[in-house]
Structure 1
Amino acid sequence: MKDLARALRRHHAARIKRARRFYFGIDNSTDLRRLGKLLNTPTPCSCWMCGNPRRQGELSVSELLHALTWHEDA
């Protein structure tokens, strides 16, 4: 039986490129290099608005929701 890992990886790459075509209010399908960057790095930078909130000493959205539901249950 043939290994389908390469086909699956290419399928997901094409799917993600289609989904991220209009990131940041720009049609990225014309610039293939930018679309390739969006495949692996969906955030444009690592500033305090775009980057990981834990780097700035904050909690992520899922961690905030978990803490909120935990406090309501107690």
Structure 2
Amino acid sequence: MLHYAVSCTALAGPAKPSKHRVSVNLSSEEYRELEALAKKTRISKAWLGRQPIIKFLDRYRDRDLQLPLDLATPRQSGD
């Protein structure tokens, strides 16, 4: 299985990038789709990857809930 690492960097203040990075493993198809969207919209892959993380944190930040992860079902790989 091939994986691509996409680094997401959050901004820490005006025009000063953070040194905090997150690597995400994507299938070839996921990476192709992300790359095509980035080219189409002229937005970086890092910015596109950061958006769902920000939404996720906003949604679950103040909740003491079980996260909606189905850990019992193995992830299928298409690569």
TM-score by length of 1: 0.31
Relative to total residues, which structure has the larger helix share, 1 or 2?
Answer: 1
Relative to total residues, which structure has the larger strand share, 1 or 2?
Answer: 2
TM-score by length of 2: 0.30
State the structure with bigger RCO (CA 8 A, min sep 6), 1 or 2. 2
